[in-house]
Amino acid sequence: MKNITLLGSTGSIGVNALKVLEMYSDQFRVVALGAGRNIERLATQIEQFHPSAVAVQDAETAHQLRELYPDKQACKVLWGNGGFIELATLEETDTVISAMMGAAGLLPTFSAIRAGKNVALANKETMVMAGGLVMAEAKKQGVSLLPIDSEHSAIFQSLQGHLNEDVRRIILTASGGPFRSFSLEQMAQVTPEDALNHPNWLMGPKITIDSATLMNKGLEAIEAKWLFDLHMDQISILVHPQSIVHSMVEYRDGSTIAQLGVPDMMIPIAYALSYPRHLENALPPLDLGSLRTLSFEEPDLDKFKCLSLALKAASTGGTMPAVLNAANEIAVSAFLSRKIGFLAIPDLIERTMEKHAPLPGESIEEVMDADDLARKTAKALLAKHYSG
């Protein structure tokens, strides 16, 4: 029986993770749940999974939750960073599922690793901001850090039984999002509703917008660099609109191993929790016969500028990827609240990056400071260039 702390339980990954944990309740026990502000959903989860502790984003939400959930004695309610860190480091926890959205996931995830917990990682922002520090800590503590992201799960699966030194490159696949065949003129007109309408995956709003701008693929490339100890020039990206080939590894003899599957996050979530076993599920099997076509094309870096900005941040290194990530969070949120247009997302990120003098990023504190400063810069740029 593995004891699980799930951070981000009310989100898209969180809800799918709970389905897996419920399906395999003979193998996993939920000991703690972390969420943001969706206390109605969290209260239902508390009733169903009986965690011994939960944490929410702020004191006010914690107060509201204490009023709402049924059995006040059985479950401790914590809040804020301190609360998430406490859940991530609980003595009884074996594995932390890190599925919060954004930079908020970094400190709890890093604390979990430092406390010797295994981590199943969905929160790619953790790796974008501080992948080198996270991997070094995981190595030091001897914990496993297994990816939930479907592309990284595919790479991880395609590496099994092979030697890392034989890897020539990895190929991350991208659906291309809803605007794959749009012109820049068309992209200038898209609304949040258009961008939230992802062709293949049902995900939280931030990652759905990141998929529409292709920033998501840039963040994933940086995540892959750290997770699999690669140079950026060993990471290629191909647009694959069907989202069936989740990614591939090319070895030095040209042999290419891919992982395929129906696009459903329950598969990589379950694998990260049950590795090396593949657990049974109720999903329909992959029916390649009726799909008929799997197509691949190069991404258009001129049209999808967020992807080139992410690759640029990766090659600059140090604190620049954390700045890219922070500026992107501000830009996506501004787009979702209709303060800026779709094409202003890369514009705001680029301006924020231009104002940053990167530091080596040798400590979590340095990375958090860069994140904080980048948010302030991006908000100031937003007010100066995009208001009214």
Ligand X SMILES: NC(=O)c1ccc[n+]([C@@H]2O[C@H](COP(=O)([O-])OP(=O)(O)OC[C@H]3O[C@@H](n4cnc5c(N)ncnc54)[C@H](OP(=O)(O)O)[C@@H]3O)[C@@H](O)[C@H]2O)c1
**Helix boundaries (H) for 105-162:** 106-114, 124-141, 150-159
Query: Quick one: which segment of 71-79, 93-101, 234-242, 356-364 binds ligand X (CB under 6 A)?
Result: 93-101
Q: By C-alpha distance, which of 158, 304, 299, 183 is closest to 241?
A: 299
- Which residues, including other chains, have CB under 8 Å from residue 362's CB and lie 6 or more apart? 133
Cβ proximity to ligand X, 207 vs 340, nearer residue: 207
Q: Is 12 in the site for ligand X (CB under 6 A)?
A: yes
Q: Quick check: 104 binds ligand X (CB under 6 A)?
A: yes
State both tokens at 3: 């004891």
Q: How far apart are CA 109 and CA 117, in angstroms?
A: 9
Query: Are the beta carbons of 353 and 331 closer than 8 angstroms?
Result: no
- Interaction between residue 299 and ligand X (CB under 6 A): no
Please list, in sequence order, all residues whose beta carbon lies within 8 angstroms of the beta carbon of residue 227, skipping any fewer than 6 positions away. 127, 131, 135, 145, 147, 152, 155, 156
- Least separation in angstroms between CB 289 and ligand X: 26
35 binds ligand X (CB under 6 A): yes
Tokens of 99: 């599925």
Q: Rule CB under 6 A: choose which of 43, 75, 265, 270 binds ligand X.
A: 265
Q: Smallest distance, Å, CB 80 to ligand X?
A: 8
Which residue's beta carbon is nearest to the bound ligand X? 11
For ligand X, the binding residue among 4, 5, 6, 10 (CB under 6 A) is 10
Nearer to ligand X, 192 or 205 (CB): 205
What tokens were used for 26? 């003979």
Q: Which stretch binds ligand X (CB under 6 A): 120-128, 170-178, 234-242, 379-387?
A: 120-128
111 touching ligand X, by CB under 6 A = no
Among 3, 38, 242, 256, binds ligand X (CB under 6 A): 38
Which string of DSSP letters, residue by residue, matches 74-104? T-EEEEHHHHHHHHHT-TT-SEEEE---GGG
Shortest distance (Å) from residue 354 CB to ligand X = 25
Asked if residue 152 binds ligand X (CB under 6 A), the reply is no
Interface residue with ligand X among 5, 8, 28, 156 (CB under 6 A) is 8
Least distance to ligand X from the beta carbon of 88, Å? 12
Closer to ligand X by CB, 147 or 346: give it: 147
- From CA 123, how far away is CA 98, in angstroms rounded? 6
Would you give the binding string for ligand X spanning residues 13-32, x where CB under 6 A is met? Answer: xx------------------
201 belongs to the binding site for ligand X (CB under 6 A): yes
C-alpha distances in angstroms, 322 versus 35, 218, 301, 345, 364?
23, 13, 21, 16, 11
Count interface residues toward ligand X (CB under 6 A): 29
Considering the complex, state which of residue 11 and residue 241 has its C-beta at the smaller distance from ligand X. 11
Of 27 and 38, which CB lies nearer to ligand X in the complex structure? 38
11 binds ligand X (CB under 6 A): yes
Nearest-approach distance from CB 202 to ligand X, in angstroms: 7
* Residue 262 structure tokens: 């129906």
Cβ–Cβ under 8 Å, residues 131 and 196:
no
Torsion over CA: 62, 67, 69, 75 (sign): positive
Bridge-partner residues for 55, per DSSP? 34, 78
Best CA proximity match to 332, nearest among 124, 193, 199, 192? 192
Among 20, 122, 146, 374, indicate the residue that binds ligand X (CB under 6 A). Answer: 122
Distance CA 116, CA 140 (A): 9
Which residue from 54, 75, 117, 125 is in contact with ligand X, where contact means CB under 6 A?
A: 125
- Of 31, 81, 90, nearest to 58 by C-alpha is 81
By CB under 6 A, is residue 371 in contact with ligand X? no
Give 14 or 177: the residue with its C-beta nearer to ligand X: 14
Quick note: the x/- pattern for ligand X over 204-223, rule CB under 6 A, is xxxx----------------
Binder of ligand X out of 6, 77, 99, 245 (CB under 6 A): 99
Element (H, E) at 53: strand 53-56
| Site of interaction with ligand X (CB under 6 A) | 8-14, 35-38, 57, 99-102, 104, 122-125, 149, 201, 203-207, 265
